[in-house]
Amino acid sequence: MIKQLWSKYKSIIAYLFWGVVTTVVNLAVFQILSPGLHWNVEVATVLAWFASVLVAYFTNKVWVFGSHYTTVSDFVVEILRFFFYRGLTLVIDMIITYVGIQVLKFDTPLQQFIVKFIDNVVVVITNYIFSKWLIFKDNRGIEDK
């Protein structure tokens, strides 16, 4: 029974685990840059996004979706697709961060952290949907070839 559940939900469990790691990277980079070093919120958000997307790509590729692309051209297409869809969720990230911090004035370090945490939950769910059905979908039968 446990083996069946693990087999059925393995990618979701792995995605959630690596999603937490990616979220920690995003939050840590943002907290260091924005409230810590007093960098512009938007710049801190983009740099936190870039760092977390790099972590997410390689963990998703290897441990979540088991992508087996080995040619350079397949790798380039896959990583460009990954960054494209993560770019779409960056827009969501920027909107939530802007509204929460700039418009609603949740601007203390703790309030910024809460805004970014809520933001990351929305982004992680959206990224899973993109990854499962739009990015790594072409890899599912590749090991059988």
Same domain, 56 and 81: no
CA dihedral sign of residues 77, 82, 84, 85: positive
Mean pLDDT, residues 101-119 taken together = 92
The count of domains in the chain is 2
Q: What is the DSSP letter of 140?
A: T
Amino acid identity, residue 126? T
How large a percentage of the chain has pLDDT more than 90? Answer: 44
CA-CA distance, 141 to 45, in Å (whole number)?
36
Same domain, 13 and 42: yes
Same domain, 84 and 62: no
Same domain, 102 and 74: yes
Write down which residue in 16, 44, 67 finishes a domain: 67
What pLDDT does residue 69 have?
Answer: 73
Same domain, 61 and 7: yes
Amino acid identity, residue 13? I
CA-CA distance, 36 to 29, in Å (whole number)?
10
Residue 74 confidence class, pLDDT cut points 50, 70, 90: confident
Q: Is 80 exposed, middle or buried (0-12, 13-18, 19+ CB in 10 A)?
A: exposed
What pLDDT does residue 145 have?
Answer: 42
Asked whether 95 and 18 are in contact (CB, 8 A), the reply is no
Same domain, 62 and 94: no
Each residue's pLDDT tens digit, 25-44: 999 999 999 989 999 988 99
Which has more confidence, 104 or 138? 104
Same domain, 54 and 79: no
Amino acid identity, residue 53? V
Residue 21 confidence class, pLDDT cut points 50, 70, 90: very high
Write down which residue in 39, 67, 95 finishes a domain: 67
- Single pTM value for the model: 0.72
**Range of the structural domain that residue 60 is part of:** 1-67
Write down which residue in 17, 50, 67 finishes a domain: 67
Same domain, 20 and 58: yes
What pLDDT does residue 90 have?
Answer: 87
Q: How far is CA 45 from CA 30, 94, 115, in A?
A: 6, 7, 12
What pLDDT does residue 143 have?
Answer: 42
Average pLDDT, rounded, for the chain:
87
Same domain, 81 and 61: no
What pLDDT does residue 106 have?
Answer: 94
